[in-house]
Chains A and B, each alone.
Chain A
Amino acid sequence: QKEVEQDPGPLSVPEGAIVSLNCTYSNSAFQYFMWYRQYSRKGPELLMYTYSSGNKEDGRFTAQVDKSSKYISLFIRDSQPSDSATYLCAMMERRALTFGSGTRLQVQP
């Protein structure tokens, strides 16, 4: 079993939809949780960085962490075609990052 599980997709949604992206993990020592967005042929770009369980909002993006269930989510409101990318979850234990394999999102205009 992988330490971090993430559905590879692709996930296709119409413009304006609410998108839900999820990761589960098995290592309870993970303390920090991140979401990265990666466009084709580019490096991952940090979107959200959270520590505690609960929600963190930044514009159209909301990151949710449930440490008791070992489950994290990223919600995108009013999705735009420019949100089409691969989204990677990542988790940190003592500065070592473990990544999910990424979910490819396509937002149709």
Chain B
Amino acid sequence: DAGITQSPRYKITETGRQVTLMCHQTWSHSYMFWYRQDLGHGLRLIYYSAAADITDKGEVPDGYVVSRSKTENFPLTLESATRSQTSVYFCASSPGRNSGNTIYFGEGSWLTVV
């Protein structure tokens, strides 16, 4: 049972470059999420998706783009990376209300923008 896998786990990129963080889940969960975690800010929701082709902005969406053409994949793209986007990014999924909205997290992607 692979669960949720994120790639790359670690990435260093330059300011202005486009970066895509991949997320793949094997549970066929309807809901998927992207969070960023920063010291002093806790977990902040970037984007979320209720199903394939349905995405919505979270708390901090600026500078990010998502897509969900297939239920199992939910890539996050930084269109033009900035230093303020240096963070740890977590992808998560949930089967929804039948589970009490239990969320399951990936291992994280550490991104450094220089």
Q: Do A and B bind each other?
A: no
Q: A residues touching B (Cβ–Cβ < 8 Å)?
A: none
Q: B residues touching A (Cβ–Cβ < 8 Å)?
A: none
